[in-house]
Amino acid sequence: MSTPISLKHLEFFVRIVDCGGLSEAAVQLNVSPSAVSKSLAAMEDTLGTTLIKRTTRSITLTDAGQYLFNRANKLLKEFDETLNTTSGYYHNPQGELRITCSIAFGYSRLVNLVDKYRTQYPDVNLYIDLNDNFVNLNDTDFDIALRISTAPPQNYATRKLVPIRWAYCASPGYLAKKGMPLRRTDLVDHDCLVYPGLTPVLKVADEQDRLHQLKLHMPIQANSSLVLLKSVLEDQGVAYLPTYLIGDHIQKEEITPLMLDGTIACETHTLYALYFPSKYSNPKVRSFIDFLVAELGTLPAWDNWIPG
């Protein structure tokens, strides 16, 4: 072959056959008849065979021409579909979206959110990594990290989603046995289920305003909110837990939130979506974050029980 055959050559050739003549094809292509004729001649010269037999009134495909027409017609259609699909990829969410999230929030909330999201965007498949360790997006291929923090992590683009509140709570069965505490200091008479580093250290001031840590009875300490939730549900004591874990149980009256010193819930953390700014143009990332903002709102469903 002396001259490479391009898609433009194939397009001209297919249009000649579809239109039944060179002049008619030139009109459809908005080029001169000589341009169409030269394109056909170049193809026949390169392939070393006649593709079209021409008379003054009609054209007839040779066997080689018929074969090329069938294949070229299919090829051009597939090429056009490929371009349309590629263009649509950046306008319509599709493909795999990789999310990393803390274990407790992922287990208790993310699965339900993902189900609702996929109802709107069924062409998106999600890979979910539940991990309480901070995942460096620079070192992984995750698209979004959902993180609960007191301050937005640095070095990433962030979207503030909702406040995360915490509350002291116990089961009705436990409270029936041990009584209802009204102040934090009352917890010295209760079984306290503690998450070291997250459960607040309780202190009281003496007559000289010096703070002293209260000595609590802690039958269970665990580095898992899910373990403490299970312990609360089994009447084992009082725990300080995020409301996204206990909200549904409160509304089902399986757990009772405790009003201690006039406070029933404390807003201490925020749920953030972390991502690279360059990835926000990706419709999967943008649509999922926008979905979370709309779905969670200013007061997420799990906090509906909190008095206004």
Answer whether 275's CB lies under 8 Å from 144's CB. yes
Looking at the structure, tell me whether residues 262 and 173 fall in a common domain: yes
C-beta of residue 94 within 8 angstroms of C-beta of residue 124:
yes
Give per-residue pLDDT as tens, 11-65.
999 999 989 888 898 998 889 999 999 999 999 999 999 999 988 778 899 999 9
* Residue 303 within a domain: no
Q: Which helix (H) or strand (E) holds 213?
A: strand 211-213
Q: Please return the burial class of 246, using the count of CB atoms within 10 Å of its CB with bins 0-12, 13-18 and 19+.
A: buried
Percent share of the chain, pLDDT over 90: 63
Q: What is the pTM of this model?
A: 0.70
Q: Are residues 100 and 148 in the same domain?
A: yes
Same domain, 141 and 276: yes
Q: Among the three residues 88, 104, 121, which one is the final residue of a domain in this structure?
A: 88
Domain that holds residue 21: 7-88
In a domain, 307, yes or no: no
Residues 121-162 pLDDT 10s: 998 999 999 988 887 777 778 899 999 998 877 778 889 999
Cα–Cα distance, 122 to 109 (Å, whole number): 19
